[in-house]
């Protein structure tokens, strides 16, 4: 099926099998392999990308559902020559080991920070009326959809902190 998706700011005309997930379209059709397949079931978060600024598991979504959408993958966040601040923070804080969950963690963190800025509550949010303070508990709750089996969790908290600033 003909589908046009804006990927990392570039309009991409695709002719994809209607069964193709957004994840497989990115990886196999567009050769953007930074987005990872960890479980193909929406359980691990390795495939997290931003769709119109919101984080989703790209394995749980068909490519043809995204006609006209703007998708940001890890390749659109920064490059080796010009790392985005969050990528530099992951490097500096050693917020990964094997690296396989890392693109998903980074995309998820970007989406999460926007959700906090937009005052979306979480289970950890105590005051639903005020503006959200990104406490460590808030941060950990909101990043729990991204599994890191190497368990770089404390380093991931530190990396996200480095770009978000300490809570007031």
Binding site for other proteins (CB under 8 A): 17, 19-20, 24, 27-28, 31-41, 43-44, 46, 73-75, 77-80, 83, 87-88, 90-92, 94, 96-103, 106, 137, 139-141, 143-157
Tokens at 56, concatenated: 């989703």
Tokens at 86, concatenated: 């969050």
Q: How far is the CB of 126 from other proteins (least distance, A)?
A: 15
Nearer of residues 88 and 114 to other proteins, judged by Cβ: 88
Nearer of residues 129 and 142 to other proteins, judged by Cβ: 142
Sign of CA dihedral 82, 86, 88, 91: negative
Q: How far is the CB of 83 from other proteins (least distance, A)?
A: 7
DSSP output for 131-165: PPP--HHHHHHHTTTS--TT--HHHHHHHHHHHH-
For 36, residues 6+ apart whose C-beta sits below 8 A from its C-beta are 46, 47, 100, 101, 103, 104
Q: How far is the CB of 135 from other proteins (least distance, A)?
A: 12
Nearer of residues 15 and 129 to other proteins, judged by Cβ: 15
Nearer of residues 94 and 126 to other proteins, judged by Cβ: 94
Q: Which of 65, 108, 56, 84 is nearest to 162 (CA)?
A: 84
Nearer of residues 125 and 146 to other proteins, judged by Cβ: 146
Q: How far is the CB of 4 from other proteins (least distance, A)?
A: 20
Number of neighbouring beta carbons within 10 Å of residue 111: 20
Q: How far is the CB of 154 from other proteins (least distance, A)?
A: 5
């Amino acid at each position: 099926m003909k589908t046009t998706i804006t990927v990392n700011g570039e309009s991409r005309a695709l002719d994809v099998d209607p069964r193709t997930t957004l994840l497989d379209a990115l990886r196999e059709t567009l050769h953007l392999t930074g987005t990872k397949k960890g479980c193909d079931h929406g359980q691990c978060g390795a495939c997290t990308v931003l769709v119109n600024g919101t984080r989703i598991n790209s394995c749980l979504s068909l490519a043809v559902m995204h006609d006209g959408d703007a998708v940001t993958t890890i390749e659109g966040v920064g490059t080796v020559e010009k790392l985005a601040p969050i990528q530099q923070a992951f490097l500096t804080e050693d917020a990964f080991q094997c690296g396989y969950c890392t693109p998903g963690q980074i995309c998820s963190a970007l989406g999460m920070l926007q959700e906090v800025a937009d005052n979306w509550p979480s289970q950890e949010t105590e005051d639903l009326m005020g503006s959200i303070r990104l406490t460590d508990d808030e941060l950990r709750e909101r990043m729990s959809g991204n599994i890191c089996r190497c368990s770089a969790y404390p380093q991931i908290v530190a990396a996200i902190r480095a770009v978000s600033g300490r809570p007031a």
